[in-house]
């Protein structure tokens, strides 16, 4: 499996209202990185993501476009209050394995919010789908802050 791709983007917490600066961002997708070791990206950065990495890191709910926007739902943690929340991450597919990180923003999950999403975090897929269906925050106690998903090293 590939390593973690960290998305460095400032995020305003939907719970405490405070900003987490980009360099403090606790948002990543295990399995997306094609680098040896973890990789950090800011909005505007270009990156290569081989097709099999999406299957390592994500559950596909819709096919990826040949070119254009790709949307992913992932978990992030507010550095100020410590609450976990969902983020809507946007990438632009520019070619076969060529992508550009557009940005990310906190999102409440609903069936409507997932309408244009192609990918959801494989590690939290059950939680994401349950929340979108029920409209309530799932119990994330089984995913402690700062720890890699089971079987991964941080």
Contact 73, 101 (CB under 8 A): no
Residue 147: pLDDT over 80? no
Condensed to tens digits (0 to 9), the pLDDT of residues 60-86 reads: 989 999 999 999 999 999 999 999 999
What integer is the mean pLDDT of 11-39?
87
Token output for 139: 């119990």
Residues 45 and 101: their CA atoms lie apart, in Å, by 6
| pLDDT value of position 115 | 86
Q: What is the 3-state secondary structure (H, E, C) of the chain?
A: CCCEEEECCCEECCCCCCEECHHHCEEEEECCCCCCCCEEECCCCEEECCHHHHHHHEEECCCCCCCEEEEEEEEEECCCCCCEEEEEEEEEECCCCEEEEEEEEEECCCCCCCCCCCEEEHHHHHHHHHHHHHCCCCCCCCCCCCCCCCCCCC
Residues 149 and 154: their CA atoms lie apart, in Å, by 9
Residue 154: pLDDT over 70? no
Residues 7 and 76: their CA atoms lie apart, in Å, by 10
Higher-pLDDT residue of 44 and 137 is 44
At CA 136, angle to CA 130 and CA 140, rounded to 5? 70
Domain ranges of the chain: 4-134
Token output for 116: 């244009």
| pLDDT value of position 110 | 81
| pLDDT value of position 44 | 97
Q: What is this structure's pTM?
A: 0.81
Condensed to tens digits (0 to 9), the pLDDT of residues 73-130 reads: 999 999 999 999 999 999 999 999 999 999 999 998 887 888 889 999 988 888 887 8
Token output for 135: 């409209």
Residues 15 and 84: their CA atoms lie apart, in Å, by 9
| pLDDT value of position 58 | 92
* Local confidence band at 135 (pLDDT 50, 70, 90 cut-offs): low
Average pLDDT, the chain: 83
């Amino acid at each position: 499996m590939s390593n973690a791709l960290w998305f460095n983007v400032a995020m305003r917490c939907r719970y405490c209202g405070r900003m987490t600066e980009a360099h403090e961002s606790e948002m990543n997708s295990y399995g997306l990185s094609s680098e040896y070791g973890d990789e950090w990206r800011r909005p505007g950065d270009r990156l290569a993501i081989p097709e099999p990495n999406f299957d390592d890191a994500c559950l596909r709910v819709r096919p990826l476009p040949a070119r254009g926007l790709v949307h992913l739902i992932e978990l992030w943690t507010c550095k100020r209050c410590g609450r976990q929340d969902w983020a809507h991450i946007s990438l632009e597919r520019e070619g076969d394995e060529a992508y550009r990180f557009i940005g990310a923003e906190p999102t409440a999950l609903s069936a409507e919010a997932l309408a244009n999403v192609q990918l959801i975090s494989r590690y939290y897929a059950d939680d994401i789908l349950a929340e979108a269906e029920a409209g309530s925050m799932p119990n994330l106690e089984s995913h402690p802050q700062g720890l890699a998903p089971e079987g991964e090293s941080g």
